[in-house]
Amino acid sequence: MSFLSFFKDYKKFGIFFSVLCIVIIVIIYNILNVKKPLPIYQPAMVSEELVDSTIQHQAKYHKIADFNLINQNGEIITQDTYKDKIYVADFFFTTCQTICPIMTDHMYKIQREIISDDNVMLLSHSVTPQIDDVAQLKKYAKEKGVIDRKWNLVTGDKKQIYELARKSYLAVKEDGTGDEYDMIHTENFMLIDKKRQIRGFYDGTNPEDIDRLLEDIKTLKDES
């Protein structure tokens, strides 16, 4: 075999090998950049202090229970209000001066980002419904820039809110005083999918977590 012939064969092999490497790199890049599906959270996956003892070891089939509450406009809000919607839920109270203002500001940011998206809504539950009646929620909503069609602030029966918080959203702690249905809300935001499943927990006081939540909403929409 002449040197020239060897060089031609090597050149062909080199071109083939280079193309093969590029194809492999592209395939690996695409595999690594495929968004992983968000987890479906079960009570057994969450800190026990946030979960009612009756469901702490439940490892599958967890969903948000039916509810019947009243919003800032005196309208009845149920699970049907959020049917086929992705939504972000949290627990707060209007007179809170610690983490609630930060959480509300971040909910407002999320509202701004989803304002034109009919598939995504917000839901904030008062943990002091005896104080946060409709008039108080309406006043708070106006102060905080709540847009009614996107964001419901809800009040109602304290037992129902407590059970939603501890048995559905897995989001609040018991207050430790022994007072029935009293609770300590946390900074958690929960991302709920169209099947009423919890798909993410986020620190509602942390800007980086809010950015992550917004990205996860996009992931969830792609999944739907």
Residues 62, 4 share a domain: no
* Alpha-carbon torsion, ordered 16, 22, 23, 24, to 10 deg: 110
Answer yes or no: do 53 and 93 share one domain: yes
CB 153 within 8 A of CB 71: yes
Same domain, 150 and 132: yes
Q: Which amino acid is at 150?
A: K
Specify whether 179 is located in the same domain as 108: yes
* One domain, residues 28 and 53: no
Integer CA distances (angstroms), 35 to 29, 84, 201, 217, 221, in order: 12, 22, 18, 12, 12
Do 116 and 203 lie in a common domain?
A: yes
Tell whether 117 and 192 lie within a shared domain: yes
pLDDT score at 26: 44
Whether residues 16 and 53 share a domain: the answer is: no
Distance of alpha carbon 22 from alpha carbon 126, whole angstroms: 56
pLDDT tens, the chain, 224 aa long: 454 454 455 555 555 555 555 555 545 544 444 668 999 999 999 999 999 999 999 999 999 999 999 999 999 999 999 999 999 999 999 999 999 999 999 999 999 999 999 999 999 999 999 999 999 999 999 999 999 999 999 999 999 999 999 999 999 998 766 677 888 889 999 999 999 999 999 999 999 999 999 999 999 999 86
The CA distance from 104 to 82, in Å, is 20
Distance CA 114, CA 204 (A): 16
Q: Which domain holds residue 164?
A: 43-223
CATH code (residue 172): 3.40.30.10
Same domain, 4 and 113: no
Q: Which residues pair with 151 in a beta bridge?
A: 122
**Residues 97-108 pLDDT 10s:** 999 999 999 999
Q: List Cβ neighbours of 69 (8 Å cut-off, separation of 6 or more).
A: 76, 77, 78, 125, 154, 155, 156, 160, 161
The dihedral formed by the CA atoms of 202, 206, 210 and 216, expressed in degrees to the nearest 10: -40
Report the alpha-carbon distance of residue 140 to residue 53 in Å, rounded: 33
- Give the total number of structural domains in the chain: 2
Clarify whether residues 109 and 9 are in a common domain: no
Q: Are residues 124 and 165 in the same domain?
A: yes
**DSSP H stretches of helix in 114-157:** 134-144
pLDDT in the model for residue 223: 86
How many other C-beta atoms are found inside a 10 Å radius of the C-beta of residue 3? 7
Rounded CA separation 59/1 (Å): 69
pLDDT of residue 3: 46
98 and 5 belong to one structural domain: no
Place of tokens 């800190």: 47
Q: How many CA atoms lie within 13 A of 62 on its CB side?
A: 26
Q: Which residues lie closer than 8 Å to 185 by C-beta, 6 or more apart? A: 90, 91, 92, 93, 127, 165, 171, 172
Per residue in 127-174, pLDDT (tens digit) is 999 999 999 999 999 999 999 999 999 999 999 999 999 999 999 998
